[in-house]
Amino acid sequence: MNGDEAVAYAVKQSDVDVVAAYPITPQTIIVERFSEYVANGEVETAFICTESEHSAMTACLTASLTGARAFTATASAGLALMHEMLFVTSGCRAPVVMAVANRALSAPLNIHGDHSDAMAQRDSGWIQIYAENAQEVYDSVIQAFRIAENPKVLLPAMVCLDGFILSHSLENVNVLPDDIVREFVGVRQFPTVLTHEGKMTPLRLDPDYPMTLGPVAFPNYYFEVKRQQEEAMKNALDVIRQVHDEYAKISGRTYGNGLIEAYMLEDAEIATVCLGSTAGTVKTVVDELRAEGIKAGLLRIRTFRPFPADDISKALQNVKAIAVMDRSMSFGGCGGPVFHEIRHVLYDLSQRPLIVNYIYGLGGRDTRPDQIRSVYEDLQKILREGRVEVPVKYLGLRE
C-alpha cells in the first residue's frame, strides 16, 4: 500500500470515533480510503465532510473535548488554513491526531512535497513525528493515539509523511491484527475534576455536568496555561520513548529510540541530519562511503516536536563536521528551521563541530544519491580546512 493508504488503515484499526476532513492533494487518498471503510460498514466512525480545513479541525477539536477519539488529515494550504484552530486545539489540550502529507506552500502553486507546511506550524503546540517510509507511517499513526492521549501529555499530534514520495508510492507494509492494535491503543482515559455538586467527573464536555473548556484567560492566568503546555511537551519525550518501546514488543519494529535514529554514528567523523524519506537515500550513500573507508554517519530526527535536544547532543557530540538538511526555508533567517535547532543544541558542547546547512528538495525537487554524496564531500573539505566558508547552501539548485 502507499503511505496514504497506510494512514487510513492504521486509523481504521485504532477505534476512532470521529473523522472530519476536507480533501486536498496529496492527502486525499487518506480520507477517500477511510470513507470507503465507513460506507462498507467496516468501522463505526462518524465521518464528517466539512466545507474547509478550518472547519475540519474545529469539528475534531469539539469532538475530542466531548471525549471522542478524533482524527483528520491535510496538507499544505489546508494546514495553513487550520492555523488558528491548531493553537486552539493544543491550548485546549485536545489529543487530536492528524496526518500531514507534506506539500509545498503557494505561491507559485505547487502540489509536490517539502516540509514548508508543517515547519510553519512547529510552534503551534503540536507533537510532530516525521516518517521515513510507509511502514513507519502506519506504525507512527497507531503510536500517535497512545502518545497524544497519555494523561501526562494530552496534546495533539501530527504524523508527517512526504507528499507523493511517501503518500503515493507503493511499498510493502506489514500490518498488525485488528485486535492487537485495538488492545495497544486502548480506551481513552480522562483526568477527573470536582463538579459544583462535589462529585468527581471525567474532564470532558457532558450535559449532565456542564463546564466550559477553553474560556477567556486574562493576564493573571494565561501565562500559567502556556507553561503547562510546555511541561506537557517535555513529558511527551519520555512518553514517546515508552510507547515506541511497547509497540516494538508487539510489532518487532523500532525507529531508533522513538525520538531519533542514529545510523553509523558511533565513530563517525562527518554526518548529516535530516527528516523524513530523504533518510533512506542518505543511508544508501552512507553505506557506500563506509565501504570506501570514510567514517560517515546519519542522524534522522523522527520527533521534531518536542525537540529531543539531549538525545541529539549525545548522538552528535563526537562528530567533527555536520551538514543539516532542511526541506523548507525560514525566509530572512540564518538557515532552515532544523538548522536553527541543531546549531542551538551544539552550542553548549565543549568541542563544537563545524556545521553547515543545506536547503534542498523544495517543491518536490528530487534529491539524488550523487547529490547526497556531494554533501559528504563538502564535509570532508570543511574538515580538512577547519572552517565553514558558506554556512547556508542550496542542493540541486540552478544558479
Query: pLDDT by residue (tens digit) across 199-217?
Result: 899 999 999 888 888 899 9
Q: Are 135 and 6 in contact (CB under 8 A)?
A: yes
**Cell numbers linked to 8:** 487510513
Of 185, 205, 237, the last residue of a domain is 185
Of the ranges 45-49, 77-81, 191-195, 289-293, which one carries the lowest mean pLDDT score?
191-195
- pLDDT, residue 194, reads 87
Same domain? 179 vs 284: no
Report pLDDT for 209: 86
Contact 320, 383 (CB under 8 A): yes
Domain assignment of residue 202, yes or no: no
190 or 135: which leads in pLDDT: 135
pLDDT exceeds 90 at position 280: yes
Q: CA angle, 17 as apex, 215 and 64 as ends, to 5°?
A: 10
What CATH number did the domain enclosing 332 receive?
A: 3.40.50.920
Cα dist from 99 to 7, 179, 215, 398, whole Å: 7, 23, 28, 32
Q: Is the pLDDT of residue 151 over 90?
A: yes
Under the banding of pLDDT at 50, 70 and 90, the label for residue 304 is very high
Domain membership of residue 255 (yes or no) is no
Residues 293 and 164 both lie in one domain: no
Query: Do both 273 and 158 map to the same domain?
Result: no
Do both 17 and 148 map to the same domain?
yes
The band of 82, judged by pLDDT with boundaries at 50, 70 and 90, is very high
* Residue 354 pLDDT > 90: yes
Question: In the predicted model, what is the mean pLDDT of the chain?
Answer: 98
Residue 248 lies in a domain: no
Same domain for 36 and 142, yes or no, is yes
β-pair partners for 395? 360
Does residue 179 sit in the same domain as residue 327? no
Asked, for residue 51, whether it belongs to a domain, the answer is: yes
Strand partners, 101: 161
Q: Output the pTM of the full model.
A: 0.97
157 touches 144 (CB < 8 A):
yes
CATH code, domain with 179: 3.40.50.970
Q: Is residue 200 part of a domain?
A: no
**357 and 267 belong to one structural domain:** yes
Task: For residue 343, give the nearest of 292, 294, 307, 295 by alpha carbon.
Answer: 307
Instruction: Using the predicted structure, report yes or no on whether residue 198 has a pLDDT greater than 90.
Output: no
Question: 3-state class of 241 per DSSP?
Answer: helix
Distance of CA 206 to the CA centre of its chain: 32
pLDDT of residue 152 exceeding 90, the answer is yes
Q: What percent of the chain has pLDDT over 90?
A: 94
DSSP three-state, residue 388: coil
Query: Is residue 244 assigned to a domain?
Result: no
Closest CA to 23 of 81, 64, 65: 81
| Per-residue confidence band for 97, with pLDDT thresholds at 50, 70 and 90 | very high
Give Cα separations from 231 to 29, 117, 234, 275, 288 (angstroms).
35, 25, 5, 25, 42
Q: Which residue range(s) make up the domain with 93?
A: 3-185
45-54 average pLDDT score: 99
Burial degree of 393 (CB within 10 A; 0-12, 13-18, 19+):
middle
pLDDT at res. 38: 98
196 lies in a domain? Answer: no
Number of domains in the chain: 2
293 domain-assigned? yes
Tell whether the model's pLDDT for residue 195 goes beyond 90. Answer: no
Residues 174 and 285 in one domain: no
Final residue of a domain: which of 136, 158, 185? 185
Q: CA of 149: how far to CAs of 137, 139, 152, 183, in Å?
A: 19, 16, 8, 14
197 falls in which pLDDT band (50, 70, 90)? confident
Choosing from 150, 170, 185, the residue where a domain stops is 185
Together in a domain, 166 and 54: yes
Contacts of 203 (CB under 8 A, 6+ apart): 190, 191, 192, 193
